[in-house]
Every structure is written in structure tokens, then in C-alpha cells.
Structure 1
Amino acid sequence: MQAKEALSIGEIANRVGLSVSAIRFYEARGLVMAHRTAGQQRRYHRADIRRLSFIKIAQQLGLSLDEIKAELDRLPLGRAPNARDWRGISTAIAATLDQKIQALTQTRDRLDGCIGCGCLSLETCALFNPDDQAGKSGAGPRYLLGDDIPPANNR
């Protein structure tokens, strides 16, 4: 890496709007990679500005660090991603977001009814979950986790 292309951790933190400790954390997780100077100071490629900006945006969209890392692992290190690189990532993220939107919509639409928790404490449980049918599928709020509400019990 040429000296003029290298950014210190403080410089990159200021450019991206992250704390130095956050950048160290992302480095430890393998999301960015620093090179060390002879004095063991971290230096980053200018392309890492985009990688770190992507991390911030992806987190705001609700992606986990593991999901973000999987997408970043598709990118080349040491150079700015090109339009083709970003197009591939955006396609994958759009699919993930569509799944999350569907789950959130389903949760919102069922929030005022039975969630299939097996509590049997609500008056409506006799209608939505007779004899704790949801409990046969497993623990937790079965209907909010994606199990289908039996047709006879739909509102």
C-alpha cells in the first residue's frame, strides 16, 4: 500500500463517522483489514471507507454482523468495489430485506391476535389455539415464528 493511499485509524474513523474502537472491533471480526507500519500503527486502504460505510448502512437495515461479513467477503480487499461488485451485494441484501419485511408484516398483522405461545390465558385462546395446538409445533410464539395458523382458527 502506498503511503498516500494509507489512512490512519483516526483518519478513517473521522471520514466514516465511527469510533476508533468500533473500527478495531470490525477489524477483529474480519470485516476490514489494517496493514501495520514499521511502528505497528494501523493503516487502512481508502477502499475501507466504503467497506465501513457499508457496515453502518447494513446495520441500520437490520443485517447481523455475520450477514454483513458474508457480503463483504465477496468483495476484493485493497480496492474500491466497482458497480458490478455492489450490484451483486445489493441483490442479495434486497432478498434478505424482502424476507424481513414479510416477517415484520406478518408479525404486525397478527400482533393483536394469537401469537401461538401456548399460554392459554387469553379469552381468545380458545378460538385461536384450542387445546394448545400451537404447542405441538414447539416452544415459543409459534405463529409469529412463521407457523401457519390453522384455517379454522383464522380471523
Structure 2
Amino acid sequence: MYIGEVAKRTGLSVKAIRLYEARGLITAPPRQGRYRVYNKSHVEVLLLIVEAKALGATLAELKDALIYNNGTLDWSRVHGFLAEIKNKLLTQQSDILKRIDAIERCISTLDSCPHIQHA
């Protein structure tokens, strides 16, 4: 499929797809005359990039995670990368819950203070 179809399937701009190719995040698709011809695996990797970026991954992190062996993505490395993102998110979740608890304690203290007028 041509780049326009890939853009529709992934929600990425043509410019973004070319950038990811230039940065080595996806393999260079074969050409048919002047046109690049993408396949299903290109779309899968691009969708992975979209999801990883939505989870906060940077292009530099993706570059380290998306390693190709003979043109095939090392999915076990991707698995490890996703596990790292999950662990970071779980740590952030724990930190947020601790902050919420601290705020609740402050609110409780304020609620029990007779000198404060509540809204």
C-alpha cells in the first residue's frame, strides 16, 4: 500500500511516517517506481509507535526499543520496552495516590478547623 493509505490506517501524517522511516523506527519499504510500498508489518510498527507515544515514550526511547534483525522487528525487545513503560506508569500511579492521600489529610484538617469558612 502507498503512504497515503498507511497514513489513513495509522492516523499519522505522511510527514510523520517519513520521519519515522528516516530515524530508523520502521524499515525502508521497497519502491515500486517512484513510490514506497508499505506492508502490514509497517502498519503494525507504526501503530505501536502511536500507542507508545501516547503512553509517554519518546522517539529516542523508541529508537532504542525498535531493533531489527534482518529486517524483522525484535518483538521480545518491544515486550521488554512495554514492560518498562508499565512499571514507570505504576510508579507514577503510586506517587499520585500518595499525593492524593496528603491532600485528603490537609482537607480533613481544614474541615475540622472552626476558623475556616467552607464554600
TM-score interval, smaller chain: 0.5 to 0.7
CA change 1:48–1:91 in 2 (3 A) is: same
Q: 1:35 maps to which residue?
A: 30
Question: How far off its partner does 1:104 sit?
Answer: 5.4
Structure number with the higher helix fraction is: 2
Query: What is the match of residue 114 of structure 2?
Result: none
Identity of aligned residues (%): 34
Find the partner of 1:98 among 68, 87, 93. Answer: 87
Distance 1:110 1:23 in 2: 39
Unaligned runs of 5+ in 1: 1-6, 114-155
Structure 2: gaps (5+ residues): 104-119
Alignment match, 1:70? 64
Matched residues, number: 101
State the one-letter code of the partner of 1:37: Q
* 1:20 paired to 2:9: no
- Structure 2 contact 3–37 (Cα < 8 Å) conserved: yes
Aligned partner of 1:141 in structure 2 is: none
Letter in structure 2 aligned against 1:34: P
Range 55-64 or range 26-35, more displaced: 26-35
CA RMSD of aligned residues (A): 2.6
Worse overlay, 103-112 or 90-99:
103-112
